[in-house]
């Protein structure tokens, strides 16, 4: 494992209990290949870190914005979603310190993004246990809350459907349409595949357990396809 001192230097925190930081970096797959490893995986720390991150961001938004609750919820989602967590993890260089199985180490796709996002939440949990709320808050302020201006400027708080519609109308003058391509499963467990169209052109598809969820996924995929 890479020297933890390098990571401590990057995050400007010196841990009293180094094992908390080490455990935050252990993905469960690593333990499958290293049965005698002395620490547990990071999922309990991730659970704690998720709650600390949500509290700090909620407190910040409540104190700094007079928007209604629904808008504050969207702001918070933009600050703490998996994409943002993965981005901040990469800025810190957290990936270089993770312990994963050989298979997981080779994966560079969405699964890897998910792992490094979860690890950052685990690190926040470790900071909270080792340093208390004050230093956890300071860490979150430095790495997350500084993104707020960018989120507002780029309207990253918008849900995918709203964003795709706004971009489509602005760029090509067309309002997106959503059409069910197929549905399957019994009534209590329905699944839907929905396409998002600009005129006659199908841009992307998305699936979900409701039409709304499938539309959101189609819009997310549409934004990715179009590079919007």
Check if the beta carbon of residue 193 is closer than 8 Å to that of residue 215. Answer: no
The span from the CA of 202 to the CA of 83, in Å, is 25
**Is 121 in the active site?**
yes
Q: What is the 3-state secondary structure (H, E, C) of 4-25?
A: HHHHHHHHCCCCCCHHHHHHHC
pLDDT tens-digit readout, 74-123 = 899 899 988 899 999 999 999 999 999 887 777 666 778 889 999 999 99
Q: In whole angstroms, how far apart are CA 13 and each of 32, 117, 131, 170?
A: 30, 19, 9, 45
CA 64 to chain centre: 23
**Is 50 in the active site?**
yes
Q: In whole angstroms, how far apart are CA 29 and each of 25, 104, 116, 123, 124?
A: 12, 7, 13, 18, 21
Q: Report the candidate in 143, 167, 171, 138 with the shortest Cα–Cα distance to residue 155.
A: 167
pLDDT tens-digit readout, 196-216 = 999 999 999 999 999 988 999
Q: Domains, the chain, ranges and CATH?
A: 4-153 (1.10.1520.10), 160-226 (3.30.160.20)
Q: Write down the pLDDT at residue 108.
A: 67
pTM as predicted: 0.75
Active-site residue among 8, 43, 50, 207?
50
Active-site residue among 121, 130, 167, 220?
121
């Amino acid at each position: 494992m890479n020297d933890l001192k390098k990571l401590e230097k990057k995050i400007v925190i010196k841990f009293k209990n180094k094992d908390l930081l080490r455990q935050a970096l252990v993905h469960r797959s690593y333990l499958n290949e290293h049965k005698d490893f002395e620490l547990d995986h990071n999922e309990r720390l991730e659970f704690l870190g998720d709650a600390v991150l949500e509290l700090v961001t909620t407190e910040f938004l409540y104190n700094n914005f007079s928007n209604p609750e629904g808008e504050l919820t969207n702001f918070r989602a933009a600050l703490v979603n998996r994409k943002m967590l993965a981005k901040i993890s990469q800025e810190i260089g957290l990936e270089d310190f993770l312990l994963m199985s050989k298979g997981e180490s080779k994966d560079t796709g969405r699964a890897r993004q998910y792992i490094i996002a979860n690890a950052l939440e685990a690190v926040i949990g470790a900071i909270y246990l080792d340093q208390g709320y004050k230093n956890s808050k300071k860490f979150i302020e430095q790495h997350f809350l500084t993104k707020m201006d960018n989120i507002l400027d780029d309207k990253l708080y918008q849900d995918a459907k709203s964003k795709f519609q706004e971009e489509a109308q602005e760029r090509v003058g067309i309002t997106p349409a959503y059409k069910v391509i197929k549905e399957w499963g019994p009534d209590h467990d329905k699944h839907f595949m929905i396409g998002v169209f600009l005129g006659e052109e199908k841009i992307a598809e998305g699936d979900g357990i409701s039409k709304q969820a499938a539309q959101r996924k189609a819009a997310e995929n549409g934004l990715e396809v179009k590079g919007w």
